[in-house]
Amino acid sequence: MIEALLTTLDLTGREFLILTVIVIVAGIVRGFSGFALSAVVMASAVIILPPVQLIPICWWLEMTASVLMAKGGWQQADRGIVMGLVIGSTIGVPFGLLLTTSISVEASKLVALTLIIALALTQLAKIRLSFLATKAGLYGSGIAAGVVTGLASVGGMVIAVYVLSQDAPAAKMRAALVLFLFVSSLTSLIMLLWFGVMNSTAAARGLSLAIPTTVGVFLGQRLFTPRFAPYYRPACLSLLCALAGAALVRTQLA
């Protein structure tokens, strides 16, 4: 039975075990922070699978986490801002997918990991870009998130930069990210199917990793308490920088 599963997934037993551990950790980060699930997966698993194969897997994992967390996001998030970001993201996703399906695996790994590190450092530095608090900034951030989602499935990081510019409380920021990732996942599925990135192998991999992701999300949600709220962003972003940096070094040495 296990052999049949691994054949369907086109993975070795070792690769599947590593991916399982990665998605549990990514689920914990997502449940705790409201974002960065795909970024953790991309930063850690890019050595096993190229970004173009990880993107559809991340879609299933993000959708799983979003369904589990959607209630809180809908209640606390600014829905007007979230919908503006979703509209922009829907426009941007096909451009990102066009790029990631056109460049080499090595180049896509380099771009994905560099984006993760740059976005994480931007947030760790608490850089607030005032122009983002405008209508142009709203839709521009959505488009940028869509491009990055199609390129490396890390659009949530761009949205986190936008929300940070609004000076929102931790709970409200988390809710906005949760709701954005849920709604944008629905629209991005169409593009993934259109570009042929979402195929039967990708779906099987995503579904098989959804259960360990669920375990991670529940664990992460238990960690998100008012006592830990001030520390959640730097902790998650520092982890992302470390993972992406290590993967980048390994990619260059390979």
Q: SS3 sequence, 58-83?
A: HHHHHHHHHHHHHHHHHHHCCHHHHH
Whether pLDDT at 31 is above 90: no
Does the pTM of the predicted model rise above 0.85?
no
Residue that has been written with the tokens 């799983």 in this structure: 64
Residue 164 confidence (pLDDT): 64
Phi and psi, residue 103, nearest 5°: -100, 170
Residue 181 confidence (pLDDT): 79
Q: Rounded mean pLDDT of 144-151?
A: 83
CA-CA-CA-CA torsion for 48, 53, 58, 60, nearest 10 degrees?
Answer: -120
Q: How many CB atoms lie within 10 A of CB 162?
A: 26
Q: Rounded mean pLDDT of 194-217?
A: 93
Q: How confident is the model at residue 208 (pLDDT cuts 50, 70, 90)?
A: very high
Residue 77 confidence (pLDDT): 67
Phi and psi, residue 101, nearest 5°: -90, 0
Q: How many CB atoms lie within 10 A of CB 199?
A: 12
Q: Rounded mean pLDDT of 213-233?
A: 80
Q: Which of 195, 25, 19, 2 is nearest to 97 (CA)?
A: 195
CA-CA distance, 133 to 137, in Å (whole number)?
6
Q: Which of 207, 202, 113 is nearest to 151 (CA)?
A: 113
Give percent above pLDDT 90 in the chain: 20
When mean pLDDT is compared over 51-55, 120-124, 203-207, the highest value belongs to 203-207
Q: Rounded mean pLDDT of 200-228?
A: 88
What length is written for the chain? 254
Based on the number of CB atoms within 10 Å of its own CB, is 166 exposed (0-12), middle (13-18) or buried (19 or more)? middle
Whether pLDDT at 205 is above 80: yes
Q: Rounded mean pLDDT of 186-195?
A: 84
DSSP 8-state class, residue 148: H
Whether pLDDT at 63 is above 60: yes
Residue 245 confidence (pLDDT): 78
